[in-house]
Structure 1
Amino acid sequence: MTSVMSLFAPVEQDIAILSDNLKQLVGAKHPILGLAAERLFGAGGKRIRPAIVFLVGHATMRGAELTVRHRRLAEITEMIHTASLVHDDVVDEAETRRGIETVHSVFGNRIAVLAGDFLFAQSSWYLANLDNLEVVKLLSEVIKDFAEGEIQQGLNRFDTELTIDAYLQKSYYKTASLIANSCKAAAILSDPHDASTAHQMYTYGNHLGIAFQVVDDIFDFTASADVLGKPTGSDLSSGHLTAPTLFAMEEKPYLRQLIDREFAQENDLAEALALVNDSQGIARSKELASYHSQQAVASLRELPSSEAKDSLLALTDYVLSRMY
């Protein structure tokens, strides 16, 4: 499988500069918040979302250098993403994320919530200072979408009437919105008068984000606990019904009964996991991810050839390769 970092070779230097800047940008006056920020940004990470912003920036600048605003947009994108993860971990009571202790498990829920709020506030301040109203609106929409996604996910726990369309809408709110709107924002910063390219970049980010989320939801059934950083089937056990489960329920009526009673009886969860794995749920979910990956590719068709475009195209293959 191609390494995601190799796909980001055209923006490797941009990512290095971003990583150096992040800890300074969130430099909180309170030492505890500063320590929380250091923990969040000091561990590195793949920086997938800001890397996509850099790639879209390079692809739409058509050979010209990235602007300071492009770089700040990438930093804002990573701050918003990280803030959402901090809050997600509090809501989900997650002790680890990818094998690393979460902020709330180290500092407590109160500090974790404040740290997430602080990151959202800092990102909003830097966003306002871009002095581009359209970009401000796009990224503000993302923060609203995160909240909407969390609310929907909480209200829909163990809801066997949930539809695939509702699942995809929630996936947009929680994952695709940030990628789609930051891609569009990057294109706008490159050329504020090219509405067509901006829309194409939004479409690319939307479909890539949905594919990414569907693949992550497949992992909940197929990956080991070591890879996930949490027990296999933890989303299902928490009542979060994702594509594999929704498709499986169409084949396995008894699965609906197990979910309706919230796995109250011994071995209910194990039986539910077995039913999903014995169905076409995972295979159909892979087809769904492939469809959105193909749509992301199609949205790049009119973009001029460049090294950055090649990486954006390769990223759609990388997302799918994670399934195998």
Structure 2
Amino acid sequence: MLKDTLKCKIKDYIFEKELYFDLKLNKNFNVNFLAQGEYNINFTVDDGNSKYVFRVNTGSQLELNNQIGYEYNALKALEISDVTPKVYFVDSSKMFLEYGVLIMEFLEGRPLEYNKDLKKSAEIFGKIHSIDLENINHEFIMEDNICSDRITEGKRLLKDYLKSPMVHKKLKNFFYKFLEWAEKNKDRERYFTKNKWHVINNTEVNSHNFIIGDKNSYLIDWEKPVVSDPCQDITQFLAPTTTLWKANYVLTKEEIEDFYKAYINNLKNGNKDIKERVHLYNPYLYLRALSWCAYAWLEYQKPNKDIKNMDTYRKIEEYLNIDFLEKLMKEYI
């Protein structure tokens, strides 16, 4: 497997680059597998005193030529928030490992638990969404047209899925109807144009991308951040497509209200109708989540896919069940 091949090469890479000097590692450090997503594999580098995350990037959801450089620069810009990992090294040359490399801070803690940690997550969002963009050097991807962008993204992700003979006709019809609804209702976007509110969004805010520590808590995995309306992150965070993903949890109305109160209290510049923004954006968030599942399902059918996470695959199949889809979208289509 790729993770085993990489584990063997990482120690040689660190010696080749003499990174142990800059990282203050003794030469008897260990490399161990930590976790993997769809486009990244993470390892720990640990000598007993110092510990880092060694992140290997295998692809780009944003279709960027320098995906790992974009993530590194984003994390540098976000350090001011004190709720994201510090980064120490990046290599986008792909010469030694054939993949982009990032070395960052290892953070102690556990994944977020929705029934315990909503106030902590609200504080994290509040700090990130309060960063003054005028003081940011990194050029983040900008998304002004969040409904139109989701339609464009959905069509791109669904292109091959809707043509595939492996996909059931009922599923194809569902997505055709969904795209048609999204096109007819994209004038919702005017609200965001008239009431502009731009912040840095993570865009992947599932429970396992939070590290909850005894003293401090963090939001990690900044693979595809954008500057856009904060409803991108808040809608995704609260949506059942997210809470069910890793935790099999659905938030109650009371929990959602408590989260909103805490989030608003942690915004430096105050609330600008976040609930209305979430209400308008919600179906477009579903379009993003479900069309990505369709795209990923098709990718998993390929025998040469670099990373295969079977827990992810099972959840994708659960979401692509026609009963689940129709229940989720019954308010809209």
TM > 0.5 = no
- From the two aligned structures, give the one with the greater strand fraction: 2
Bucket of the pairwise TM-score, normalised by the shorter protein: 0.3 to 0.5
TM-score, L = length of structure 2: 0.35
